[in-house]
Amino acid sequence: MYIFTTTSISIMKKIVVLTGAGISAESGIKTFRDADGLWEGHDVMEVASPQGFTNNPELVLDFYNQRRKQLLQVLPNKAHLALAKLDTYFDTTIITQNVDDLHERANSKNIMHLHGELLKAKSTKGDIDKSITDCENDIFMGDLCPNGHQLRPHIVWFGEEVPMLEKAIEITEKADILIIIGTSMQVYPAASLVNFVKPNTPIYFIDPKPSVSKNSFNNLTIISKTAVNGVPGIIDDLIKTYKN
């Protein structure tokens, strides 16, 4: 005998949110491409590539040490907090290109970091994936993993494999709604995720300088606002529309 109820079982819609540096801008973290293509005064390739690390490891470690210190002083903003409300009403996954932990601190449940995490370190050699550990402190040359290899930040640098990509594609393919926030859509493969949604999936694109136009995708709504000004409203609208 099976237990059943006459109440209809509503299946939660799946929302996928792709976030970029823009969502954290109003928390005080600079984006990558808004300041003459420099990231906090550095060429991105100098501080975010294996070649950059080989050429000047001290500079790269110091750069991420500064970013980590800065991260520990900022807070999630109203856009991060609004996204966390989605979990109550939708099967939500946040796929972020950001290495900050502001979605975690805003209490979103399912977060995938495509480009790594600033508050983690890993080894430069051996079984690198198994070596990933929490890291809130500075990393210096001479700081070693338990197997005796130099530690580095757990960041996916340009030219490195994006280990979470397959999983991110699988999740995006199942989305009923896609929300994209604060990304220039210039970095692949992250920017290609939008091509994996089912035909006619509603796509919301929130960015004060959107890099897409009305006809870029079917069923696209562009909201040319900052994350703090644009995200809470769209989240409330989605919750009102779909909550039953």
Residues within window 97-116 making contact with ligand OAD, judged by CB under 6 A: 97, 115
- The binder of ligand OAD chosen from 145, 184, 194, 234 (CB under 6 A): 184
- The binder of ligand OAD chosen from 13, 42, 44, 239 (CB under 6 A): 44
What is the rounded distance in angstroms from the CA atom of residue 88 to the CA atom of residue 123? Answer: 37
- The binder of ligand OAD chosen from 14, 15, 20, 172 (CB under 6 A): 20
**Would you give the DSSP letter of residue 202?**
-
Q: Which of 80, 103, 113, 115 is catalytic?
A: 115
- The binder of ligand OAD chosen from 76, 226, 234, 235 (CB under 6 A): 226
Specify whether the backbone of 195 is left (phi greater than 0), alpha (psi in -120 to 50) or beta: alpha
Closest to ligand OAD by CB, 189 or 237 = 189
Contacts from 141-145 at CB under 8 Å and sequence distance 24+? 141/57, 141/58, 141/61
> Which residue's Cβ lies closest to ligand OAD?
22
Q: Which of 155, 114, 162, 158 is nearest to 132 (CA)?
A: 155
Closest to ligand OAD by CB, 23 or 91 = 23
Q: Could you tell me the smallest distance in angstroms from the CB atom of residue 83 to ligand OAD? A: 13
Query: Under 8 Å CB-to-CB from 56, ≥6 apart: which residues?
Result: 46
What is the rounded distance in angstroms from the CA atom of residue 175 to the CA atom of residue 96? Answer: 15
- The binder of ligand OAD chosen from 16, 21, 175, 177 (CB under 6 A): 21
Q: Could you tell me the smallest distance in angstroms from the CB atom of residue 53 to ligand OAD? A: 13
What is the rounded distance in angstroms from the CA atom of residue 202 to the CA atom of residue 45? Answer: 35
The count of chain residues that interact with ligand OAD, using the rule CB under 6 A, is 28
- The binder of ligand OAD chosen from 46, 104, 117, 207 (CB under 6 A): 207
HSE-CB at 198 with a 13 A cutoff on CA atoms is 11
Q: Could you tell me the smallest distance in angstroms from the CB atom of residue 11 to ligand OAD? A: 31
For 102, the token pair is 């502001």
- The binder of ligand OAD chosen from 187, 194, 235, 238 (CB under 6 A): 187
- 80 as an active site residue: the answer is no
70 binds ligand OAD (CB under 6 A): no
What is the rounded distance in angstroms from the CA atom of residue 184 to the CA atom of residue 209? Answer: 8
What is the rounded distance in angstroms from the CA atom of residue 97 to the CA atom of residue 31? Answer: 11
What is the rounded distance in angstroms from the CA atom of residue 188 to the CA atom of residue 3? Answer: 49
- Binding residues (CB under 6 A) for ligand OAD: these are 20-23, 25-26, 31-34, 44, 48, 97, 115, 156-158, 182-184, 186-187, 207-209, 211, 226-227
State the catalytic residues: 115
